[in-house]
Chain A
Amino acid sequence: MIRPEADLTGPTPRFHIGDRVRIDARPLATHHRVPAYAKGQAGVIAKVCGEHEEPERIAFGQQHRLRRLYRVRLQQTDLWKTYEGSPTDSLDIEIFDHWLQPA
């Protein structure tokens, strides 16, 4: 596979299934794929997905860069203080590596 540019995440995933992570809360006015409700939330890695092109760069036609994608599992009772349902209810969301920190 030809990498279009030096790939910062590399082929080895930084996180593994079950790792606790926190989604960055940083604001960004331009195109990105992290909805506001998920910012700053902590959860666990539910799946390690492939590498995909960074959306922030695609939006401006910049040189492509591959980023590792994960599915992060958040607990509904963490997301919403008034959540009504089972305490085990959860939400899986796709988050790129450069929006995650160990938690």
Chain B
Amino acid sequence: MSHDHPHRHPPQADHAEPVSHHEWLGVALNELLMEKGLYTAQELREMMAEVEAVEPSTHGARVVAHAWVDEDFRVRLLKDANTAVEALGFDSAATDLTVLENTDEIHNVVVCTLCSCYPRTLLGRPPTWYKSASYRSRLVREPRSVLREFGTQLPDSVTVRVHDSTAELRYLVLPLRPQGTDDWTEERLAELVTRDSMIGVTTARTP
């Protein structure tokens, strides 16, 4: 594909020049949509900034910490996650959000084998490894090996349940509340909730 396309808009200031056929296809599609007036370059930049502003520590972690201290909220979160997170002031997006509760018997972990479905309004942009072919193919086949590589050792008495996000739902793992945190405030608890623990590849931090 030609590099002297007459009216190419810069994709994003810090983007490398597209190299592959599909990257050029993406650039071309973006330009066409803007030329047709579906959105402007400014709207696109604002949308990217909005997604990049979402931090797991200030979004998803606060949902988890609140569920740890407020039993009614925990029940509501498991039953209808969309309205529960909206009540906390977060955007649940147009997708069906499903919260998976870890227990002493079940450990949940999330993957999207077909692409990179991810609860972006609560966790921001997915990490690179989440989108890698290796993680997507191996987590469904050998989840315990993958978990071990993340430093997560689980006894066989704990059932590992993988969730393949293949269609319309988005998943957030509610990790186990670490022991020894009974008198902790919600704000302090939130610091134990990492992004990876909400994907399910690790447990929450221990104090």
Question: In the assembled complex, how far is the CB of residue A94 from the closest CB belonging to chain B, in whole angstroms?
Answer: 4
Say yes or no: is B11 at the interface (Cβ < 8 Å to chain A).
no
With contacts A33-B114, A35-B113, A37-B140 known, is A86 near B157, CB below 8 A?
Answer: yes
Q: Are A33 and B167 in contact (CB under 8 A)?
A: yes
Does A49 make an interface contact (CB < 8 A)? Answer: yes
CB-defined interface of B139-177 with A at 8 Å, one 1/0 digit per residue?
A: 011111100000000001111111111111100000000
- Determine the residue in chain A with the shortest Cβ distance to B144: A85
A33 and B160 contact, Cβ closer than 8 Å, known pairs A84-B142, A91-B140: no
Give the residue name and chain of the B residue nearest to A88 (CB): B159
Is A92 at the interface (CB under 8 A from chain B)?
A: yes
Residues of A within 8 A of B114 (CB): 33, 35
- A interface residue count range (under 10 / 10 to 19 / 20 to 34 / 35 or more): 20 to 34
Q: Does B46 contact A (CB under 8 A)?
A: no
Task: Please report which residues of chain A, range 63-95, place their CB below 8 angstroms from some CB of chain B when the two chains form the complex.
Answer: 69, 71, 76, 79-80, 83-86, 88-95
A residues in contact with B167, CB < 8 Å: 33, 52, 55, 69, 94-96
Does more than half of chain B's interface fall in helix, strand or loop, or is it mixed? mixed
Query: For residue A79, which residues in chain B have a CB less than 8 angstroms away from its CB?
Result: 140-141
Task: Using A85-B156, A91-B140 as known contacts, say yes or no to A52 and B161 having CB atoms under 8 A apart.
Answer: no
Specify which of A50, A69, A92 is in contact with B162 (CB 8 Å cutoff): A92
Cross-chain contact A52 with B164 (CB below 8 angstroms) = no
**B23 contacts the other chain (Cβ, under 8 Å)?**
no
Contacts of A95 in B (CB 8 A): 166-167
Within 8 A of A (CB), among B125-146: 140-145
Q: Return chain A residues, CB-CB under 8 Å to B161.
A: 89-92
CB A1 to nearest CB in B, in angstroms, measures 15
Q: With an 8 A cutoff between CB atoms, is B96 at the interface?
A: yes
